[in-house]
Structure 1
Amino acid sequence: MPQNSTAPRILIVGGGYAGFYTAWKLEKHLRKGEADVTMVDPLPYMTYQPFLPEVAAGSIEPRHAVVTHRRHLKTTNVITAKVTGIDHANKVATITPPVGEPYEFAYDQIVVTAGAVSRTFPIPGIADNAIGLKTIEEAVAVRDRLLSNFDKAAAIPAGPERDRLLTVVVVGGGFAGIEAFAELRSFASSLISKYPQLSFDDTHFHLIEAMGRIMPEVSLETSKWVMKDLGKRGAFIHLDTQVTSAVDGNVELSTGEVIPTDLIVWTAGVMANPTVVRGGDLPTEQRGRISAQADLRVVDADGNPVEGAWAAGDVAAVPDKTGGLPDGTCVPNAQHAVRQAKLLAKNLVAVLRGEGTKDYFHKNLGAVAGLGLYNGVFQSGKIALKGFIAWVAHRGYHGLAMPTWERKWRVLWGWWNNLWLGRDFANLAAVQHPRAAFEEFAARPRPAVAEAAAPAAQKNAAKSDAGKPAPVNDAGESAEKKPAAKADAAKPAAKKPAAKKPAAKKPESVETTV
């Protein structure tokens, strides 16, 4: 795509946390005409991922958990497409739109913020039966699946099939897995009152964790409290346990236990976006992330900055200057992605102006998680808050962290409505197949072959009948339809006695075919 601007061209690959915040802050720091900024992402919005468990539990409207690119980026050129190749040696990226042919995009500075995707293992059945919780679409699908299963279960008698429908398995005991697990357990408990055919004991929730504890981001004592709290709510946590198979929804564990289920949620880790990382020539480290130094510039194998290349967020291996992380790099989470993006925008502008850059340094102030309505956990150093006050802290932090006041108000307004009206548990699973009802009843033209065959068959039948003698009745008369006048003349002759009108002297007026 040709660019007409003579200003430096900045290409941002990815519109998630890091990409959106980089573009947003560049609009603030750049002078008019100082640079031409383009952001490319296959989705037209940024997803605020900490809200996904609440979306899955019906506590937040899905559209309120995303930030529309075009509404909030005023001067950035937004392209809804994929970057499928990066040739940084020539500073050209390949952009593949959803419609049309791929094309090359020349740039002067590239910012890679393509994020991460769910990391899975080659376990039989997982790819076919599980679902992740990294996108808003997945969160909505999980919610609708749980609601649909309640509808199905309420319509059948107690038994193995109903147990399967009301069993939820979450794989992964990190923050994402625990929040999803706890929110879904809370959601299911609230649904019981709407289904008189079902009871609390009919629902079964299992969390599978390969390690010997959950939530490594908090203290061991706090993680034990979370386990105990979930146990009181009828949830089962399997530690030191791995999933060995999930064929046909039968989750087989390394302990030998088999859990039949219709809903498997996979939250066991993430990996850098492989489409972008493998499709480019930027240096990577052993875990597949793009190598970066503390000021967020990409570095080569020798630690030298790669001119014109930047990376941040989950796709980048950024050094942890606090020294608090075991592998020396920042963990892939929203907290780091947002703060790295803000600094990256400042450093990039500084480089354009010939100024110096600053290193990224962020000491984790704590961790907070929601465990369902009115329940949560917060950990900062040795300080731990549990229950309602931690839940308030969780909502307060993420409500303020949601970018733009427009999105903040939508989330806060939804929470306020739910406080008085309760959760919205409208099941919109049918929206995933929007044309199903239309297709079922839509009139369709008859197949062209059948229409052409019908007249041909009639014509052939007529030709065949023309060469055959017409069938006759018991009186030796032809069974063909007779003209009205001839038929009327024949009727009196047939009614007169044979003595008065000998048949031999007066021939019949009926035509016959010999």
Structure 2
Amino acid sequence: MRRILVVGGGYAGFYTAWKLEKKLRRDEAEIVVIDPRPYMTYQPFLPEVAAGSIEARHAAIPLRSHLKRTRLIHASVTRIHHASKTVTVLPKDGEPFELGYDIVVVTAGAVTRTFPIPGVIENAIGMKHVEEAVAIRDRLLDAFDRAAVLPPGPDRSRLLTVAFVGGGFSGVEGFGETLSLATALLKSYPELTFADLSFHLIEARNRILPEVTDEPGRWVVRALERRGAHIHLDAQLVSAEGGHLVLSTGQEFDAHTIVWTAGNGANPVVANHTDLPVTARGSVMVRADLRVGTPEAVVPDAWAAGDDAAVPDLASPIEGAITVPNAQHAVRQAKRLAKNIVATLHGEQPKDYVHHSLGVVATLGLGTGIFQWRGIVITGFLAWVMHRGYHVLAIPTWERKVRVLLIWASAVFFGQDIVSLLSVQHPRRAFAGETGDLEVADREVADRERVGSF
């Protein structure tokens, strides 16, 4: 029986395996998914997780609950050697081992792209995974608790200063949602005022949200600035040492919470540890039918989709265009990829992937958003409703859709939950202190000031 090995359990990997289960008989192929995480993260909901509008676990789709016929291996793939049709698997426990396959599907996804800026690795939090979104929320809530007992001054200001680096979709949505949460929190903290808050969005280009056209992008800037945000365009982060941010424009300020959302980088396994053909950017070279290879030559039994694949965009008027690495493409590529694998197994020809964009929609915080499809632009409350409606339909499985809707419904009547669970990130602190292990307790308390530990 053939073994179809899926490297990566994100959007593309999860949907590929899910659809293969539905389209193949049990005796046709063994499906294997390898991913270090036991769940698929629905990344468009991470800004709402950071704002407390959605429970963290509801933005994660457990693989074992939905992939009933798939063999799941929770480990990392460190090398793909297609010449021998093997991958090197590194589990969290035990020794690395080789696993063979008949067909490989590379959906490893991209990784957070960073630059050698002093202090970033030590002090910033990403926003690509659920635990990072939770840490941002808990850190903000904890900062409010600590700032409320301090007199006005630099210590209070630092605690209530938040900086997002990167003005793409995840950065703008995360920034807008956390700004909305911070503004709402003021009702519960009479000791603090709106003037105590300081939110900064730093973008190296001269505009934010490159996925929309110029005028809607300018509207987003104006909308955020009306809510008290500081938008730094044409500004690069030069240093973040000790939480002190220095910008290329000469501006400097201290920030307790620094969130890095400055784009994605090539997955190192795909870019450096495979004999499959890759582009100069480190993405797998893919044909329009999602088989690995070039228009002239196919690499047999190798497929790829998602953020780590350079998929030709046949719907674009620009010759040679590559599909944008987003969820809209990853999900649809996975569905086409599964159909194409089944077709080839049945002796049929695969079809090309073609998808015309459904438009872009973004949340800018509770009750406001922006939507654009070609020349149609919708802003404000209606766009925010469209954002929620689209994503509750897009998140896989009815179970997750219902859970998310129930959380939103409860917030209408009871508001957002403002309990910080920052302490769960250091579960031994209380135990170590109570048992007299002060060295351990002191070390974990010191970790509290290191954002990188989250």
Report the TM-score, using the length of structure 1 for normalisation. Answer: 0.83
Q: Does residue 85 of the first structure (1) align with residue 79 of the second (2)?
A: yes
Kindly report which structure 2 residues correspond to 1:65-104, keeping only aligned pairs within 5 A, or say none. Answer: 65-104=59-98
Residue 107 of structure 2: which of 107, 113, 125 is its match?
113
Aligned to 1:205: 199
Aligned to 2:164: 170
Kindly report which structure 2 residues correspond to 1:250-269, keeping only aligned pairs within 5 A, or say none. Answer: 250-269=244-263
Provide Cα deviations, 1:350-376, integer angstroms capped at 9, x if missing partner.
111111001111111200001111111
Aligned to 1:29: 23
Distance 1:347 1:262, change over 3 A: same
What letter matches 1:265 in structure 2? V
Provide Cα deviations, 1:217-248, integer angstroms capped at 9, x if missing partner.
11211111111111111001111111111111
Aligned to 2:58: 64
What letter matches 1:130 in structure 2? A
Q: Please give the alpha-carbon distance, in whole angstroms, between the structure 2 residues aligned to 1:237 and 1:20.
A: 37
The two structures, once aligned, show a CA RMSD in angstroms of 1.3
Give 1:276 shift: 4.3
Aligned to 1:312: 305
**Retained in 2: the 8 A contact 1:94–1:104?**
yes
**Retained in 1: the 8 A contact 2:270–2:284?**
no
Residue 42 of structure 1: which of 36, 47, 58 is its match?
36
Aligned to 2:358: 365
Provide Cα deviations, 1:41-90, integer angstroms capped at 9, x if missing partner.
00000000000000000100000001000000110001111111111100
Q: Please give the alpha-carbon distance, in whole angstroms, between the structure 2 residues aligned to 1:73 and 1:135.
A: 21
Kindly report which structure 2 residues correspond to 1:174-323, keeping only aligned pairs within 5 A, or say none. Answer: 174-299=168-293, 303-323=296-316
Q: Does residue 133 of the first structure (1) align with residue 109 of the second (2)?
A: no
**Retained in 1: the 8 A contact 2:270–2:308?**
no
The gaps in structure 2 that reach 5 residues or longer are 438-454
Aligned to 1:468: none
Residue 7 of structure 2: which of 5, 13, 17 is its match?
13
Aligned to 1:469: none
Distance 1:422 1:326, change over 3 A: farther
Residue 436 of structure 1: which of 429, 434, 443 is its match?
429
Q: Please give the alpha-carbon distance, in whole angstroms, between the structure 1 residues aligned to 2:140 and 2:215.
A: 32
What's the secondary structure of 2:307's corresponding residue?
helix
Aligned to 2:385: 392
What's the secondary structure of 1:413's corresponding residue?
helix
What letter matches 1:128 in structure 2? E
Q: Please give the alpha-carbon distance, in whole angstroms, between the structure 2 residues aligned to 1:171 and 1:99.
A: 35
Give 1:279 shift: 2.1
Give 1:167 shift: 0.5
Give 1:255 shift: 0.8
Q: Please give the alpha-carbon distance, in whole angstroms, between the structure 1 residues aligned to 2:64 and 2:296.
A: 37
Give 1:434 shift: 1.2
Residue 403 of structure 2: which of 410, 421, 426 is its match?
410
Provide Cα deviations, 1:407-453, integer angstroms capped at 9, x if missing partner.
11111111111111111121011111112211222378xxxxxxxxx
Q: Which has the higher contact order (CA 8 A, sep 6+)?
A: 2
Provide Cα deviations, 1:180-210, integer angstroms capped at 9, x if missing partner.
1100110000111111111011000111111
Provide Cα deviations, 1:104-156, integer angstroms capped at 9, x if missing partner.
11100000101111111111111111111100010001111111111111111
What letter matches 2:280 in structure 1? Q
Structure 1 residue runs of 4+, over 3 Å off? 324-327
What letter matches 1:272 in structure 2? A
Distance 1:172 1:407, change over 3 A: same
Give 1:31 shift: 1.7
Give 1:23 shift: 0.3
Identical aligned residues as a percent:
59
Residue 346 of structure 2: which of 348, 353, 362 is its match?
353
What's the secondary structure of 1:355's corresponding residue?
coil
Distance 1:193 1:99, change over 3 A: same
What's the secondary structure of 1:111's corresponding residue?
strand
What's the secondary structure of 1:314's corresponding residue?
coil
What letter matches 1:262 in structure 2? H
Give 1:334 shift: 0.6
**Retained in 2: the 8 A contact 1:84–1:276?**
no
Distance 1:443 1:248, change over 3 A: closer
Q: Please give the alpha-carbon distance, in whole angstroms, between the structure 1 residues aligned to 2:334 and 2:266.
A: 16
Q: Please give the alpha-carbon distance, in whole angstroms, between the structure 2 residues aligned to 1:100 and 1:325.
A: 49
Give 1:161 shift: 1.2
Q: Please give the alpha-carbon distance, in whole angstroms, between the structure 1 residues aligned to 2:269 and 2:339.
A: 27
**Retained in 2: the 8 A contact 1:96–1:102?**
yes
Q: Please give the alpha-carbon distance, in whole angstroms, between the structure 2 residues aligned to 1:168 and 1:156.
A: 18
Query: If you compute each CA radius of gyration, which structure gives the higher value, 1 or 2?
Result: 1
The gaps in structure 1 that reach 5 residues or longer are 1-6, 445-514
What's the secondary structure of 1:101's corresponding residue?
coil
Q: Please give the alpha-carbon distance, in whole angstroms, between the structure 1 residues aligned to 2:287 and 2:265.
A: 19
**Retained in 2: the 8 A contact 1:83–1:276?**
no
Distance 1:325 1:336, change over 3 A: farther
Report the TM-score, using the length of structure 2 for normalisation. Answer: 0.94
Q: Please give the alpha-carbon distance, in whole angstroms, between the structure 1 residues aligned to 2:136 and 2:375.
A: 35
Give 1:213 shift: 1.1
What's the secondary structure of 1:28's corresponding residue?
helix
Provide Cα deviations, 1:7-54, integer angstroms capped at 9, x if missing partner.
110000000000000000000111221100000000000000000000
What letter matches 1:136 in structure 2? V
Q: Please give the alpha-carbon distance, in whole angstroms, between the structure 2 residues aligned to 1:327 and 1:157.
A: 59
Residue 331 of structure 1: which of 321, 324, 332 is its match?
324
